[in-house]
Structure 1
């Protein structure tokens, strides 16, 4: 009789996420994943499912973790403008110094066009991120920290889309000064 292999699913999923992050969905083999997770394929199939189900769980966990992290970071600031500036600077640091670029952005270009479930997860994260930045911009307007003529919706969109563009730019050009200059420009636009 086969024995059930017990393992820490959360830890195993985190290890699989690292593989997907490095190799992408299509580049990651089942062997890559089960080796990293330190489980056999039958344990994966019996608990989480196939490669796609594992990926869906990974990208869901990743996007939820990002939203929680940015909200937690912003909570450290009384000023919504200071929170925005700090988040922008943290994004720059992540782009320039993290070992992997954004998993959500990589996944958008690899799978979101063809996989509706992945697209839905990424759209949800994008919507939540937009709503969060919109709330910060509106608070900054209420507290008269930014120009009262600022279109809050446009500014929130501008911030979110800037992050995506910076990731792409850095992947292609590896130009840290360029990313820092764009961030400084964004902060100037917000702070007018």
Structure 2
């Protein structure tokens, strides 16, 4: 007879995500995962597979978490420029509750040159964010808030590049005020 799991799979996956987010893949040992997730090593292997498989599941969990936050911003029906600001503010304020920076950025920097699948996943996640910005720009075009001379593809890549920069700088000693000033200048291209 199969035994019931004595843990909430989503909750322990969230813990693994946060550990990988804070420490990176290479620095995180299986013992770190056992200790942080609060479950036995055998349970990790039985439920998630090896460390790499757990990492990929953690990355998918992170992607879903971020996508849900972005969907909330899209559904808010804010003016386009304010919605774009909300995306930046989400990245800035997430550091108050989660490890600093961005798991997708950390993963791309740490592993993309070493692992083709990780490179493809990172690229896809980045492209999804660009698509979000593109939709917001097109909404701004449709409402008349943003000039139609602003190319959604180029501008979405520009905004995403700046968002990535913010996510990196959050991990340093830049103050929130300094980061907010970078956001202000970035968003000035929408005027």
Same fold, judged at TM 0.5 (above)? yes
CA distance in 1, matches of 2:14, 2:136: 30
Change (3 A) 1:25 1:141: same
CA distance in 2, matches of 1:117, 1:80: 33
Residue in structure 2 matched with residue 152 of structure 1 by the alignment: 152
CA distance in 2, matches of 1:176, 1:87: 15
Change (3 A) 1:41 1:5: farther
CA distance in 1, matches of 2:113, 2:103: 15
Consecutive unaligned residues in structure 1, runs of 5 or more: none
1:14 aligns with 2:40: no
- Secondary structure of the equivalent of 1:148? coil
1:58 aligns with 2:64: no
Residue in structure 1 matched with residue 135 of structure 2 by the alignment: 135
- Secondary structure of the equivalent of 2:26? helix
- Secondary structure of the equivalent of 1:114? coil
Please state how far the C-alpha of 1:186 moved relative to its aligned partner: 1.6
Question: Hey, which bits of structure 1, 4+ residues long, moved more than 6 A?
Answer: none
Please state how far the C-alpha of 1:53 moved relative to its aligned partner: 0.4
- RMSD of equivalent CA atoms: 1.9
Residue in structure 2 matched with residue 166 of structure 1 by the alignment: 166
- Secondary structure of the equivalent of 1:125? helix
Residue in structure 1 matched with residue 126 of structure 2 by the alignment: 126
Is the 8 Å Cα contact of residues 141 and 148 (structure 1) preserved in structure 2?
yes
Relative to the length of structure 1, the TM-score reads: 0.88
Is the 8 Å Cα contact of residues 81 and 187 (structure 2) preserved in structure 1?
no
Residue in structure 2 matched with residue 93 of structure 1 by the alignment: 93
CA distance in 2, matches of 1:8, 1:125: 26
Please state how far the C-alpha of 1:5 moved relative to its aligned partner: 6.4
From the two aligned structures, give the one with the greater helix fraction.
Answer: 1
CA distance in 1, matches of 2:85, 2:22: 29
Relative to the length of structure 2, the TM-score reads: 0.89
CA distance in 2, matches of 1:170, 1:16: 21
